[in-house]
Structure 1
Amino acid sequence: MSLLIKNTLFNGDILINGNKIVSINQNIRMDNCPFDKPIRIIDAQGKAAIPGLINTHTHAAMTLFRGFGDDMPLMPWLKEKIWPNEAKMTDEDVYWGAKLACLEMIKSGTTTFLDMYHHFDATARAVEEMGIRAVLSGVCFDHFQPELTEKAKASISKLYAAMDKYDERIRFALGPHAIYTVSGELLQWINHFSEENDLLIHLHLAETEQEVANSIDRFGYSPVRYLKELGVLSPRLLIAHGLYVDEEEIQLLADHGVKVAHNPASNMKLASGGEFKFAEMKKAGITVGIGTDGCSSSNNLDLIEAMKLASLLGKAWRKDPVVLTAEEMLTAATKEGAVIAGIDAGRIEVGALADLCLIDLNMPAFTPNFNFVSNLVYAANGSCVDTVICQGNIVMENKKIPGENDIMEKAAEIAYHLMKR
């Protein structure tokens, strides 16, 4: 299948064949096309093309908890509102919650997300049907109980062995929840499994001051130093949040090639902290992506909004308007996210995966359009996304996704029934 996108601002025409971008030119002529006549032509006059956005930390099915348990500290929120209700969730609940999440992400320009949640198969089915990419974590807890440690090992091994049944857009990762819910023994086993199979490890770390204090009390080390002692710092590790790290720990992360997902909305809403050391990490050579976290702690999955929050928050606490530019934020949400996800995307270049979005410029946020990237990051939000293409396939066109109203209605119904249970 071929797709020709005509007349985009900046890029001109973009030719896609199969799942790759094969040509970018100001005027790609049909008679010079090296492939069969494109079966689809999109006139993108008045639109700009950007790479598909990559959300590096989500809990997709938590769309069902949007607006539930708001305005609470992290640990009471988890223990009183989230964990008890998550324990009641079925495959059908997670499937519809994840399907709603995919719908929301597509409508705001995300083509790949890195998820950590229960009921792996239910989320995978939703992703397959919605047509985008995901790196789905086999989530595990053992709460320092040996019988649960062995159960977690068996569950992860079983999930990974069954990955061949899913579409190539779905990749497997390991998802130990956090150092306060997963034992050192299980973390070391996960690291070994990751090394053997070249898999990403997706872990919450250093999210709150209390977590750091508890880590020092329990293990004798701050979270990053604890992982170093366990021997699990590696280029295969992605830590979500990473708010409370000092200069030495940043260097440890850099030296071991660890990646970081910054979640500004969640960090602010849960008051976990506002001084994420984005600039310091980048200076040290750490790959930093942007995430939204789940909808119960950030309330939406709009990565364009998250880019703005990441930039403004970083400027504010440093009292420095020069740091964390709009360009840096877009790079973090595209190229850096692609590095973290392990995919050849995040850029509009010949040879890259055909994951991209068309942005509607006929909006107040882009008027005047002195600086497109600045307008995108500081003025716009996800509603500016007109068309989304993933794997060379159109998953949204003219801001419409097939069946979107049915998905929203069913997900709402499922959420209300869950809370009644």
Structure 2
Amino acid sequence: MADIIIKNVYVLTMDSYELTQGVVVIENGTITEVAESTEQDADQIIDAKGSVVMPGFVNTHTHAAMTLFRGYADDIPLDEWLKNYIWPAEEHLTDEDAYIGTKLACLEMIKSGTTSFADMYIHMNDVAQAVKDSGMRAALSYGLIDLGENRSADVELSKGKQFVLDWKGEAEGRIITMYGPHAPYTCSEGFLSKVKKEANHDRVGIHIHVLETESELNQMKQQYGMCSINLLDRLGFLGPDVLAAHCVWLSDDDIEILRGRGVHVSHNPVSNMKLASGVAPVPRMLDRGVNVSLGTDGCASNNNNLDMFEEMKTAALLHKVESLDPTVLPARQVLEMATTSGARALGIKSGVLREGYNADVIIVDMNKPHLTPVYDIHSHLVYSASGSDVSTTIVDGRILMQDYEVVCMDEQDVLDRARTAASGLVERAKF
């Protein structure tokens, strides 16, 4: 007997086929059948008539605990935002703050259809514990910064390595670990080379910010006589184990290097727009065959939320108006970026409803005024739907939210604790 059967539903597999009415069968955390009907029975049967079942979203770049900074220091340039506001405030962040901030992020993501995410931050043991407790899937990395100081580099790398080893494969395999050097402009050449060596040794990936701003581009050229991509390539750093966030200020040659090295890119359109960082050349990357996924960044530099529906819509519209071409980034392609491409970037067996894949599944309720009538499922999901239309979220075969009710945590308790944590943080930091 199966664990869960979802029936009477439009099945958007993100594979080579779709079913206007079908079933998805889940057993032991895995999808065991996707078909028009099934002879199997299950412990729980979900009749999702009028809904779409699809892979959960994969958010490939965020800083989850920064939910506690939601709405703090808006409308400020990135360099000033980091140096004068965020980094000083983070000095007062406690382990408990990181735990509850991440728990709040997980709650928000579960309610809006994200089942997996990649996170780079501090207090990562507490971040990982929050992920474990929430039931979500995540690729986690401790954010490494050395600023060219040898003592700092040794301490940072030791912390990063310990986290990688302690949490790799934890939460019944839902947690994977990565190394997280912050960016080429905050990490020295020698440090980046050491990180790469350790990542290779531990057989894990690397999560890094790359060419987010023109300021970074100019700084790298002044310091090294080349941009971040060329520096990383010279160091032998780039490869299919690297997840590069932002990648806004790329030349055609940079794109070719990314393609040739098999680097995965996380596109963060809302954050890039809010911080006025620029428009990443996503259509050109996709045309060249670079795997481009979607991320929200931390919600303090986003639309102050972690809604991947907003990210999809923004991506589609931004690149249409930037290129003056309405055919650029069609809805189906954007959905792929938010699901299959994201799963590929993290190296997880999700992002597709296919036999043998992780049962990371969401149900989107289409019985809404703003989603009626339906001519094109893909179009509605990208242009009309929002996170609040997700009725059910399943990760690793476990129901985390059903019929809009979160069952994996006490929602009100999380909200209350988050408010208390934010208030204490304000008091300590004297924002």
Pairing partner for 2:65 from 22, 38, 61? 61
Q: Is 1:74 paired with 2:78?
A: yes
Q: What is the aligned partner in structure 1 of residue 16 from structure 2?
A: none
Q: Is 1:416 paired with 2:420?
A: no
Q: What is the aligned partner in structure 2 of residue 143 from structure 1?
A: 147
How far is 1:405 from its partner? 1.7
Q: What is the aligned partner in structure 1 of residue 380 from structure 2?
A: 375
Q: Is 1:94 paired with 2:98?
A: yes
Q: Is 1:288 paired with 2:292?
A: yes
How far is 1:199 from its partner? 1.2
Give the letter for the 1:132 counterpart.
M
Q: What is the aligned partner in structure 2 of residue 129 from structure 1?
A: 133
CA distance in 2, matches of 1:217, 1:188: 20
Q: What is the aligned partner in structure 2 of residue 4 from structure 1?
A: 5
The answer on whether the counterparts of 1:12 and 1:27 sit within 8 Å (CA) in structure 2 is: yes
Where do 5+ consecutive residues of structure 1 fail to align?
Answer: none
CA distance in 2, matches of 1:125, 1:93: 12
Give the letter for the 1:71 counterpart.
D
How far is 1:158 from its partner? 1.7
Q: Is 1:21 paired with 2:16?
A: no
The answer on whether the counterparts of 1:365 and 1:379 sit within 8 Å (CA) in structure 2 is: yes
How far is 1:231 from its partner? 1.6
Query: What RMSD in Å do the two structures reach over aligned CA positions?
Result: 1.1
Q: What is the aligned partner in structure 2 of residue 222 from structure 1?
A: 227
1:260-275 mapped onto 2 (5 Å cutoff): 260-274=265-279
Query: TM-score, length-normalised on structure 2?
Result: 0.94
Q: What is the aligned partner in structure 1 of residue 188 from structure 2?
A: 183
Give the letter for the 2:104 counterpart.
L
The answer on whether the counterparts of 2:31 and 2:357 sit within 8 Å (CA) in structure 1 is: yes
**Tell me, what secondary structure is at the counterpart of 1:346?**
coil
CA distance in 2, matches of 1:2, 1:259: 34
CA distance in 1, matches of 2:162, 2:101: 24
CA 1:365–1:230 in structure 2 vs 1: closer, same or farther (change >3 Å)? same
The answer on whether the counterparts of 2:128 and 2:167 sit within 8 Å (CA) in structure 1 is: no
CA distance in 2, matches of 1:71, 1:297: 9
Give the letter for the 1:5 counterpart.
I
Give the letter for the 1:380 counterpart.
A
The answer on whether the counterparts of 1:304 and 1:381 sit within 8 Å (CA) in structure 2 is: yes
CA distance in 1, matches of 2:357, 2:163: 29
Q: What is the aligned partner in structure 2 of residue 404 from structure 1?
A: 411
The answer on whether the counterparts of 2:168 and 2:177 sit within 8 Å (CA) in structure 1 is: no
Deviation per CA, 1:21-48: give whole Å up to 9, x if none: 111222223xxx2xxx521111111111
1:43-58 mapped onto 2 (5 Å cutoff): 43-58=47-62
Q: What is the aligned partner in structure 2 of residue 104 from structure 1?
A: 108
Q: How many residues align?
A: 414
Query: TM-score, length-normalised on structure 1?
Result: 0.96
Q: What is the aligned partner in structure 2 of residue 194 from structure 1?
A: 199
Q: Is 1:160 paired with 2:164?
A: yes
CA distance in 2, matches of 1:229, 1:83: 30
1:240-319 mapped onto 2 (5 Å cutoff): 240-274=245-279, 276-298=280-302, 299-319=304-324
CA distance in 1, matches of 2:167, 2:103: 20
Deviation per CA, 1:128-184: give whole Å up to 9, x if none: 111110000122111110111111222122222322683110110110011111111
Give the letter for the 2:51 counterpart.
K
Deviation per CA, 1:286-330: give whole Å up to 9, x if none: 110000000110011000110010111011110000010100000
Q: What is the aligned partner in structure 1 of residue 17 from structure 2?
A: none
Pairing partner for 1:355 from 357, 360, 367? 360
CA distance in 1, matches of 2:165, 2:231: 30
The answer on whether the counterparts of 1:11 and 1:49 sit within 8 Å (CA) in structure 2 is: no
Where do 5+ consecutive residues of structure 2 fail to align?
Answer: 11-19
CA distance in 2, matches of 1:87, 1:408: 23
Give the letter for the 1:74 counterpart.
L
Pairing partner for 2:340 from 314, 335, 339? 335
CA distance in 2, matches of 1:142, 1:6: 52
CA distance in 2, matches of 1:67, 1:162: 33
Which segment drifts farther, 342-351 or 69-78?
342-351
CA distance in 1, matches of 2:141, 2:115: 17
Residue identity (%): 42
CA distance in 2, matches of 1:341, 1:300: 22
